[in-house]
Amino acid sequence: MYLSSLHIRQFRVFDDITLYFKNGINILIGENNSGKTAIIDALRICLGCGKPDNYIYIQESDLHVNSTVPTENNTTIQFDLTFEFGDALIERECFYDFISQDKEDPAKQTIQLHLKFIQENNGKKKYFKRMIWGGDNEGQQVPYESLQEIFYTYLSPLRDAVSCLRPYSYDNKTSQLFNQLTKYNKGEEEIELNEERKDLLAKNLYHVFEDDASDWKHILTTGKSKVNAHLEGTGITRKHPNIEMRYVGRKFSDVVRGVELKCPVYKTIEDGQEQKYFELYQNGLGENNLIFTSVVLGDLINRCEDNALEIYNALLVEEPEAHLHPQYQNTFFEYLNELQSKGLQVFVTSHSPTITAKSDVNNISVLQRKQNIVQSFSFGKLTESDYPAESKRHLRKFLDTTKAQLFFANGVLLVEGVAEAIIIPILAKKFLSEKIDLCKSGIELVNIGGVAFNHFGLLFNNDDESKRLLSKCAIITDSDPEEDKDKSDRAQKAKDLEGQNLKVCLAPHTLEYDLFEQSEHNKSIMRDVYRKMHAQTNDLRGDFNASTLMKKLKSNKDKAEFALQLCDRLETEVAFDVPDYIKDAILFVAPSE
């Protein structure tokens, strides 16, 4: 079984939102303060409602505040979860009281879990009353034992890996792994690890310390006598406290609480050489986070593979990129993808373009803010007519780290050349009357090279607001029908995409040609820059025209270098005229006040 949807009402930044999930891994991306943590916390509250030690609770600050209606007073939070059945018969048996019958498809049933929190006041203080029910009818009671079959593990973004792995610590993840083992391998033999055997193993270990012939027992007795002597001396006769001492507890769980993790210093050691070890605190944060995560995954996968444990298991990870360099992010995320076959459902929040670029687009949901309302754009809910499979394949293939940043941007400029990517930022920042800094405005300039514009443009032009990115996008492309019919056809196809949040701005010719022809002042600057690049070329010494410049750029194959040199020159200029189509594109995507 897996969680297919989560409906949230009146919780933190969310007024009313439905999120859709896939079986396996789910990626929630979005800019800061778009609600990613709120979704993870909602999942923790709901999936942990059967855990006595669930460490997250509803508070008054969790109530949604409508910033546009100051008089609105919200007192209710509700979560509605829908799970899809798997193949295991035990799922229907365990979650019988949660079953919901699809009204349109008689053959389809789902598992529904609902939680409602209502703020009440008893005259002394405010508190939240929790209501839980299953299925279609509010009030349908569900067995607590069924809720205990839902398990999750949460990895916070700023986790203290050393503390969580320290022996005898309160929330020791290593001991959790060992406590949940129901079998172990001894050579070729697989041995059942039931409670009876756990007790026997712990007892056998403790005999090492309790045997009268053991020096350990006499060392402990000596230490105990010294403490008790002082207790007797400082206390009242016959009323002073007395203590007993043990090396470890008598239970299996006490023994495994003391399991210690260390990192070997030497990769290989020769016969007779003693291995040395680093303590975990001597590692870097990233290394320890990988160790910590591996311990947690060991426990989770054991739960997924062992039918005697929970039926549903989830991993909630906030910002896995924390403390990991890009290559580690890649390998870590690819490994999470491999775990999908184990029956584990994974929810990951991120604002890492590296992770986004590595994701299957069908698993991505983009959280977007518009006028203080957060909406979700999910690739998995797009139909073939909304976004064809071919476009998804192209997007997945060409979605590198740079292009993935468009999902986090306030606005997007799509261009098809290096020259545009180099020159347009300085034109916007220095020579438009509005003086727009693309970086400060959160505008991402994406060079898509030879990729068809439609694969990116379709993300912005759908008439259904829930099926498009809410940021605005402008395509800047050349149109030169006299010189290149194929380029003209490409430009027309781009123009046909225009609509909703997508604007297409066609250059009359090419960027360099149009900049050159924009004014005599531009011509003077661009001629001077190119002459300095080719000081020995005689036919550039006169007042050459735009066509000559374009021919030279093509024959010398130095468009990118010319763009860099021109950009450097413009840093020192006080005036340079910008073509209207570039102005229109920049002003369209620039966030309005």
Write the secondary structure of 64-122 as one string of H (helix), E (strand) and C (coil).
Answer: CCCCCCCCCCCCEEEEEEEEECCCCHHHHHHCHHHEEECCCCCCCEEEEEEEEEEEEEC
Burial of 244 (0-12, 13-18, 19+ CB in 10 A): exposed
- Answer whether 34's CB lies under 8 Å from 28's CB: no
H or E stretch covering 389: helix 389-398
Whether 280 is in a domain gets the answer no
Do 313 and 393 share a domain, yes or no?
no
Whether 276 is in a domain gets the answer no
pLDDT at 364: 94
- Answer whether 23's CB lies under 8 Å from 91's CB: no
Tokens standing for residue 269: 């050691």
Do 340 and 392 share a domain, yes or no?
no
Distance from C-alpha of 246 to C-alpha of 113, rounded to nearest angstrom: 46
| Contacts (Cβ under 8 Å, ≥6 apart) of 393 | none
Report pTM. 0.85
**Closest C-alpha among 407, 395, 397, 541 to residue 470:** 407
**What is the residue range of 552's domain?**
387-589
Whether 564 is in a domain gets the answer yes
Do 199 and 292 share a domain, yes or no?
no
Do 58 and 198 share a domain, yes or no?
no
For the chain, what percentages of helix, strand and coil (3-state, to nearest 5) are there? 40, 20, 40
Do 327 and 233 share a domain, yes or no?
no
The single residue listed with the structure tokens 């508070």 is 59
**Closest C-alpha among 302, 312, 113 to residue 193:** 302
Do 53 and 185 share a domain, yes or no?
no
Whether 81 is in a domain gets the answer yes
pLDDT at 485: 60
pLDDT at 411: 95
Do 361 and 404 share a domain, yes or no?
no
Concatenating the DSSP letter of every residue in 328-340 gives HHHHHHHHHHHGG
How far apart, in Å, are the Cα atoms of 97 and each of 4, 116, 134, 512?
18, 17, 6, 69
- Answer whether 96's CB lies under 8 Å from 28's CB: no
From first to last of the 593 residues of the chain, give the pLDDT tens digit. 999 999 999 999 999 999 999 999 999 999 888 999 999 999 999 999 998 888 889 999 999 998 888 888 899 999 999 999 998 889 999 999 999 999 899 889 999 999 999 999 888 899 999 999 999 999 899 999 999 999 998 988 866 777 778 888 877 888 888 888 889 999 999 999 999 999 999 888 888 888 888 888 888 889 888 888 878 777 666 666 778 787 777 888 988 888 888 888 778 887 877 887 777 777 777 788 788 888 888 888 888 887 667 899 999 999 888 778 888 888 888 888 888 788 899 999 998 888 888 888 999 999 998 878 899 999 989 999 999 999 998 888 888 877 888 999 999 999 988 999 999 999 999 999 999 999 999 999 999 887 789 999 999 999 999 999 999 999 999 886 555 666 578 888 899 999 999 999 999 999 999 999 999 999 999 999 999 999 877 777 788 999 999 999 999 999 999 999 999 999 999 999 999 999 999 999 998 75
Do 209 and 310 share a domain, yes or no?
no
How far apart, in Å, are the Cα atoms of 589 and each of 162, 272, 400, 538, 574?
45, 69, 22, 43, 25
Residue 16: beta bridge partners?
Answer: 9
Whether 380 is in a domain gets the answer no
Sheet holding 345-350, edge to edge: 150-155, 312-318, 345-350, 25-30, 364-370, 373-378
Do 218 and 333 share a domain, yes or no?
no
Tokens standing for residue 210: 């309790």
Residue type, 361: V
Distance from C-alpha of 142 to C-alpha of 100, rounded to nearest angstrom: 13
539 HSE (CA, 13 A, CB side): 6
- Boundary (domain end) residue, out of 308, 335, 365: 365
435 alpha-carbon distance from chain centroid: 34
CATH number for 100: 3.40.50.300
Distance from C-alpha of 97 to C-alpha of 146, rounded to nearest angstrom: 9
Which three-class secondary structure state does DSSP give residue 531? helix
Domain count of the chain? 3
For the chain, the maximum distance between any two Cα atoms, rounded to a whole number of angstroms, is: 113
Distance from C-alpha of 492 to C-alpha of 487, rounded to nearest angstrom: 9
Whether 272 is in a domain gets the answer no
Q: What is the CA radius of gyration of the chain?
A: 32
Whether 320 is in a domain gets the answer yes
**Closest C-alpha among 76, 49, 78 to residue 63:** 76
Whether 277 is in a domain gets the answer no
pLDDT at 373: 87
Q: How far apart are the first and last CA of the chain?
A: 46
Do 417 and 329 share a domain, yes or no?
no
pLDDT at 237: 67
Residue 101: beta bridge partners?
Answer: 109
Do 339 and 444 share a domain, yes or no?
no
Tokens standing for residue 187: 């050579």
Do 112 and 217 share a domain, yes or no?
no
